[in-house]
Amino acid sequence: MQLLEVKNLEVSFALRQGDLVALNDISFSLGKKERLGVVGESGAGKSVTGFAVINLISKPGKITNGEILFEGKRLDTLSEKEMRTIRGNRISMIFQDPMMTLNPVLTIGTQMVETLQAHRKISQKEAEAVAVKKLERVHIPSPARRLSQYPHEFSGGMRQRIIIAIALLTDPSIIIADEPTTALDVTIQAEIMDLLQELCNSEDMGLMLITHDLGVVAEVTERVLVMYAGKIIETAKTSDLVSNPLHPYTRGLMNALPGHGTCDTANRLQQIPGTMPNLTEIAPGCSFHPRCEHCQDICSSEVPQLRKISGNDSRFVSCHFAEEGWQNG
Amino acid sequence: MFAFIVRRIIQATVVMLVIGFIGFSVKHQLGDPVRDLVGISVSVEEREALREQLGLNDSFFEQYGRFVSNAVRGDLGYSYFFKKPALDVILSKAPATIELVFVSSMLILLLSVPMGLYSAIYPKRFFSRLAMGVSIVGVSIPVFLTAIVLIYVFAVQLHWLPSYGRGDTVNILGWESGLFTIDGLRHLVLPSIALSSIMLPLFIRLIRAEMMEVLETEYIKYAWAKGLTRKRVWLVHAFKNTLLPVITVGGVQLGILIAFTILTETVFQWQGMGFMFLEAVERSDTALLVAYLVVVGALFVVVNTVVDIVYGLVNPTVTIASR
Ligand SMILES: Nc1ncnc2c1ncn2[C@@H]1O[C@H](COP(=O)(O)OP(=O)(O)OP(=O)(O)O)[C@@H](O)[C@H]1O
Ligand SMILES: [Mg+2]
């Protein structure tokens, strides 16, 4: 049994102009201790996917179809109260911008202790001891003294470490990290990524890493989902995907990667001509076809299915020519 | 903390000097202390001698200097109507006003916080829409209309509550208080409702607007993601952040409430400073007018200082020492 299984997930935002389908038939799974990357352009639906798992999609968004199974149990049908026992306890989240994530008027200690006390019967003293241990774990110097400090007394990198420490408090099974380094300096980005990787190796948790950065995905994850306009267009073992991307979009992403260094696809993606369509105006057929250099007639009329590539059980691509090879066509 | 106190004292001094200057200018232009002292049945020569003796022929600034140095010693002039020092008259009326403002402020806080929070959390519910609708109407109704309606309904028609005066008071260390007798409290009900009705809609809307903004922030979304209870997210995470702007704006508004006591006290014959002020205007009791200005100014300064301290306590990024 997989730790997390998402089946045919559909998320819509009920807007005034009508429903906007932000996620369309998303299926994936995450094994114990597995590290899964989710990449795609801004607006592809990466964050919505992450939040859907803990049923915390911002209004007016709703899961309109599909199932989410955590350790074999449905999450999407849980009551608010039951869901609370999962959030921040079994599944923790790390947000994008550490400057905005911590509550400015509460001390670090308060924000850590409350998390533990929300999920365990534990005294203030014991909770503080756990907090100190976790702060040590993320290399915060003199952690005991830090508990009484407020977020504004820390740098961005330190805050993201604290947020990671909060995520670790309850020894969760899954951490969902939504672009945990995008808002940080380049040098600090590497530190935080190293830390996350180190933690995943030593603690017993699965990681869902949402990012723009294919370089980071290549370095940190074992498997990867590539998203485009609310759909998964390619999923594979990271090594397979990096060595041989099959979808033209993934290829474009890869081509934008200089050598083996990391790079921010948000900027580099401009190397693929055009931009991702608004979710309300997705073209018929393959949603990528207006930007695809190998576009054929069928691409603008028929929606390609996410199909298994023969000879590789973990590899799925949604492109009419994934196997025939559009390179030659 | 020390720097804060020093700065506050300097600010307060400047504010009080300005208020004093305005008060003195009014007195200088309008008042005739000689008439206040002796009436009109005294000869011109005698008056002139008296003017010279009182220093009324000195320059404006010499007189202002004397006014300030007297004021510092607690001498704000002499009320010719009450035949007492103006400050004594004011201070004997101050408890009535302060108690009225205090009870009204409490009413405003106790009602606006839950109503504001509720209508921010459940903006679509019937009660929220009702509160918003009523508060729009509420802002535009003048106080004395509210007061008169209250008196008509609860005093004249229903005979439930008294409509004028303070009722029984007890003297606690020289402070005439109406807060400790049933009769005193009954007398407080209508005036304090009337007075708080001015600010209540504004506070509800302010708290609601701030709370709605806070609920959209990342740190609130993060608080949900941590699996905290609603109570914890709303009342600790969101409310504490909502408080900051509310304290800043609210502090000023509570100060303004003092100004509205003039109307409220007059309608309810409430024997406070505001009621006395209007009487003093009718009697041209200039010393009393000036004393009123100075005392109310001092009250403003005190209220603002308390508000600043509370703000510093709630907001960790502002240490009081660094302000
Ligand atoms: N609160 C909302 N209201 C309406 N539509 C929304 C809302 N949040 C997300 N969406 C829609 O869902 C789509 C996916 O958003 P999402 O935040 O998942 O993108 P993302 O892939 O995380 O992008 P980014 O890299 O910018 O974080 C957006 O294009 C938007 O149309
Ligand atoms: Mg995102």
Choose the closest CB to B227 out of A88, A97, A103.
Answer: A88
Question: What pLDDT score was predicted for residue B215?
Answer: 95
Tell me: the pLDDT tens digits for A226-268? 999 999 999 999 999 988 888 888 888 887 766 544 445 555 4
Eight-class DSSP state of A152:
G
Any domain includes B141:
yes
Interface contact flag, A100 B219, Cβ < 8 Å: yes
Per-domain residue ranges of chain A: 107-169
Q: Average pLDDT of chain B?
A: 85
Any domain includes B78:
no
Q: Does B221 touch chain A (CB under 8 A)?
A: yes
CB under 8 Å, gap of 24 or more: what pairs does A148-155 form? A148/A107, A148/A108, A148/A109, A149/A107, A149/A108, A150/A104, A150/A105, A150/A106, A150/A107, A150/A108, A150/B316, A150/B317, A151/A102, A151/A103, A151/A104, A151/A108, A152/A104, A152/B316, A152/B317, A154/A108
Find out whether the beta carbon of A46 lies less than 6 Å from any atom of ligand 1: yes
Provide Rg for chain A, Cα atoms: 20
Q: Ligand 1 atom closest to Cα of A179?
A: 27
Any domain includes B58:
no
The pick from A47, A58, A59, A280 for probing ligand 1's pocket by mutation, whose C-beta has the most ligand atoms within 8 angstroms, reads A47
Find out whether the beta carbon of A157 lies less than 6 Å from any atom of ligand 1: no
Residue with the smallest CA separation from ligand 1 atom 26 is: A42
Question: What pLDDT score was predicted for residue B6?
Answer: 82
Q: Does B317 touch chain A (CB under 8 A)?
A: yes
**Number of domains into which chain B is organized:** 1
Question: What pLDDT score was predicted for residue A167?
Answer: 94
Candidates B47, B25, B45, B26; CA nearest to B36 is B47
Nearest residue of B to residue A164, measured between CA atoms: B226
Tell me: the pLDDT tens digits for B232-247? 999 999 999 999 888 8
pLDDT above 70 coverage of chain A, percent: 94
Question: What pLDDT score was predicted for residue A314?
Answer: 84
Residue B31 has pLDDT above 80, yes or no: no
Locate all alpha helices (DSSP H) within chain B, ordered by sequence.
Answer: 2-30, 33-38, 44-54, 60-72, 86-121, 126-140, 143-150, 182-215, 218-225, 230-232, 239-267, 273-282, 286-314
Q: How far is A160 from chain B (nearest CA, A)?
A: 13
Question: What pLDDT score was predicted for residue B322?
Answer: 47
Question: What pLDDT score was predicted for residue B323?
Answer: 42
Helix, strand, coil % over all residues of chain A, rounded to 5: 35, 25, 40
In a mutational test of the B interface, the residue from A105, A108, A162 whose CB has the highest number of chain B CBs within 10 Å is A105
CA end-to-end span of chain B: 9
Task: Record the tokens describing residue A209, joined without a space.
Answer: 């890493």
Q: How far is B113 from chain A (nearest CA, A)?
A: 19
Residue with the smallest CA separation from ligand 1 atom 28 is: A43
Find out whether the beta carbon of A40 lies less than 6 Å from any atom of ligand 1: yes
Find out whether the beta carbon of A91 lies less than 6 Å from any atom of ligand 1: no
Tell me: the pLDDT tens digits for A163-178? 999 999 999 999 999 9
Query: Measured in whole angstroms, how far is the alpha carbon of residue B294 from the centre of its chain?
Result: 13
Q: How far is A54 from chain B (nearest CA, A)?
A: 8
The domain spanning residue B213 has which CATH number? 1.10.3720.10
Q: State mean pLDDT over B130-149.
A: 85
Determine phi and psi for A308, rounding to 5 degrees. Answer: -70, 140
Q: With bands split at pLDDT 50, 70 and 90, how would you rate the model's confidence at B184?
A: confident
Task: Record the tokens describing residue B115, joined without a space.
Answer: 């109503």
Determine phi and psi for A70, rounding to 5 degrees. Answer: -120, 120
Question: What pLDDT score was predicted for residue B1?
Answer: 66
Do the strands A174-178 and A91-94 form a parallel or antiparallel pair, or are they unpaired?
Answer: parallel
Any domain includes B43:
no
Q: State mean pLDDT over A8-21.
A: 91
Choose the closest CB to A105 out of B223, B226, B240.
Answer: B240
Per CB-CB distance under 8 Å, the chain A contacts of B241 are 103-105
Find out whether the beta carbon of A45 lies less than 6 Å from any atom of ligand 1: yes
Tell me: the pLDDT tens digits for B85-120? 888 888 888 899 999 999 999 999 999 999 999 999
The pick from A10, A24, A46, A280 for probing ligand 1's pocket by mutation, whose C-beta has the most ligand atoms within 8 angstroms, reads A46
Q: Bigger pLDDT: A272 or A139?
A: A139
Choose the closest CB to B225 out of A87, A107, A119.
Answer: A87
**Which is it for the CA torsion A186, A188, A190, A196, positive or negative?**
negative
Any domain includes B6:
no
- For the complex shown, is ipTM > 0.85? yes
Any domain includes B27:
no
The domain of B165 spans: 86-321
| Backbone dihedral region for residue B117 (phi beyond 0: left; psi -120 to 50: alpha; all else: beta) | alpha
What is the Å distance from ligand 1's center to A230 Cα?
9
Q: With bands split at pLDDT 50, 70 and 90, how would you rate the model's confidence at A85?
A: very high
CA–CA separation, B142 and B263 (whole Å): 10
